[in-house]
Structure 1
Amino acid sequence: MELELNLEKRLRDMYNTLKLAKKGGWEEYKVHLKLVLLGLGVIGAIGFIIQFISALISFSGG
């Protein structure tokens, strides 16, 4: 019985949250896109630097 009430409350809370949510506009989408691309660029640069240092170490006989 308690599980059933807990599930009902949880579903009601989810429904209320979805009612409050709003769809983002084009400007918000562009900001998120810039942040994602910036994050990918930073992670790619870190990976490149690590691979470059590894190649330098292996070519120098280390």
Structure 2
Amino acid sequence: MSGELLLAAGLLLVLAAGVLLAAVLRLRSRARRASWLLTRVSAALGEAERAGRVRADLADTT
């Protein structure tokens, strides 16, 4: 009986570890997507700011 209880506890631990691993992998994927999106938004904002400065400089010279 003690062996069966130990086996059941071990299986429960393995199952819990699998569930936690799946959750971590899902969160990691979401974090990567969010990081990529933030990088692209930052780059787009920087490009828009630079283009605005160029446009303002061109408007001052004419």
Shorter-normalised TM-score: what interval? Answer: 0.5 to 0.7
1:25 is displaced (CA, Å) by 0.9
Q: Distance in 2 between matches of 1:61 and 1:31?
A: 45
The aligned length equals 39
Q: Which amino acid aligns with 1:35?
A: G
Larger Rg: 2
| TM-score of the aligned structures, taking structure 1 as reference length | 0.59
Distance 2:42 2:17 in 1: 37
Q: Residue by residue, what CA displacement relative to the aligned partner does 1:15-61 show, whole Å, maximum 9, x if unpaired?
A: xxxxxxxxx71001000000000000000000000000000000001
Stretches of 4+ aligned residues off by more than 6 angstroms: none
| TM-score, normalization by structure 2 | 0.59
Please list every run of 5 or more consecutive structure 1 residues that lacks an aligned counterpart in the other structure. Answer: 1-23
Q: Which has the higher helix share?
A: 2
Corresponding position of 1:27 = 10
Q: Which runs of 5+ in 2 are unaligned?
A: 1-6, 46-62
Match of residue 53 from structure 2: none
Mapped partners of 1:25, 1:61: distance in 2: 54
Q: State the alpha-carbon separation in 2 of the partners of residues 46 and 61 from structure 1.
A: 23
